[in-house]
Amino acid sequence: MEKLRINEVAPRDGLQSQPRQVSCDDKLRLISALVDAGVAAIEATSFVSPKAVPQMADASELFPRLPDPQRIRYSALVPNERGLERAHQAGVREFAVVLSATETMNRRNINMGLPEATNVCASTLAAGIGTGMTGKAYVAVAFACPFEGLVAEDRVIDLTERMFAAGAVEVVIADTIGAAAPRAVGKLLHHAVRRFGAERLSLHLHDTRGFALANAWAAMEEGIRGFDTSVGGLGGCPFAPGAAGNLATEDLVLMAEQCGFDTGIDIAKLRLAMAVATSITGASLGGRTAQWLCAEDARRLKNVEQKAGD
């Protein structure tokens, strides 16, 4: 059975914009539940400015306490070499940089133009790799920008190439605001896979218009096997107006299983992790399949009760 690689981003991308402050202990509860469900790769936190993203202020406290660090592939986002240094001190072995594909998004997000942001990401990758860490890169707003509209495919390919040249082992193409549709996803990834190889690429999707699962399938058709997801669809983007939650982990796991792919994730235990996420955030969570899964629970319970009464 062919494997699908799922990188769970709820502890970082999912929590970063939540209005309720989540404690370090509660984050560890969520991460432990995800590990128990069989999640093997988790984006745990980000070493960004606490003033910019208060929810991530405990990154240095959290990372050394992560469960089963020898088995689980934990990563952390870093914005620059200063964040990289903090991450290295905390014991991070895999880090990610984020490069937005448009001038305006970079200026709104990190107060840099596109050329400067590209150089900062490249130098941060080089610095981290020089210390023995593994680096990957995100190309954000790869399909559309909330400020500039549609993004040229050639620009995304060029920025992806720049990140690989700087030493990234993986580049994650990100539909940051959930603006892509399956045809656009398939077209861009068809060219990216031919240029760089499917095994070096992953996809990060948001479900703003309900297209995330369809977009994931379009990517799978082009050979992509790596995806960022967030349990319960938890997430958003504080710097991208209109961005909704991420592709829900349970949605992709369920579709993958029914289409013959192995994720290594137990969906029943994953739903327990979703219950933890709901508890610690106070948010109403659940992907596109949540209603069906609840109906299945009710059906199974009814069958059990009927058998007990026979």
Residue 188, pLDDT above cutoff 70? yes
Residue 92's pLDDT band (cuts 50, 70, 90) = very high
Global pTM reads 0.93
pLDDT for the residue 301: 59
Residue 306, pLDDT above cutoff 80? no
Residue 304, pLDDT above cutoff 70? no
Nearest to 156 by CA among 195, 130, 208, 112: 195
Residues 207-262 have pLDDT tens digits of 999 999 999 999 999 999 999 999 999 987 655 555 668 999 999 999 999 999 99
Strand partners, 100: 140
User: How many residues does the structure list for the chain?
Assistant: 310
Distance CA 1, CA 21 (A): 41
Residues 57-90 have pLDDT tens digits of 999 999 999 999 999 999 999 999 999 999 999 9
Distance CA 60, CA 4 (A): 30
Residues 190-203 have pLDDT tens digits of 999 999 999 999 99
pLDDT for the residue 22: 98
Q: Domain containing 280: what range?
A: 2-309
* Per-residue CA distances from 304 to 267, 290, 297, 299, 301 (Å): 20, 21, 11, 9, 5
pLDDT for the residue 237: 63
Dihedral class, residue 92 (left if φ above 0, else alpha if ψ from -120 to 50, else beta): beta
pLDDT for the residue 203: 98
Nearest to 221 by CA among 257, 249, 247, 193: 193
pLDDT for the residue 274: 93
Q: Which residue has the higher pLDDT, 285 or 139?
A: 139
Contacts of 291 (CB under 8 A, 6+ apart): none
Hey, what amino acid is at 264? G
Catalytic residues: 237
**CATH number for the domain harbouring residue 81:** 3.20.20.70
Query: Lowest-confidence range among 21-35, 71-85, 193-207, 270-284?
Result: 270-284
Distance CA 31, CA 9 (A): 10
Residue 290's pLDDT band (cuts 50, 70, 90) = confident
pLDDT for the residue 212: 96
Q: Count of domains in the chain?
A: 1
Q: Which residue has the higher pLDDT, 120 or 240?
A: 120
Q: Which residue has the higher pLDDT, 240 or 289?
A: 289
pLDDT for the residue 126: 98
* Torsion angles phi and psi, residue 105, rounded to 5: -65, -40
Residue 305's pLDDT band (cuts 50, 70, 90) = low
* Torsion angles phi and psi, residue 46, rounded to 5: -140, 145
Round the average pLDDT of the chain to a whole number and report it. 93
pLDDT for the residue 243: 60
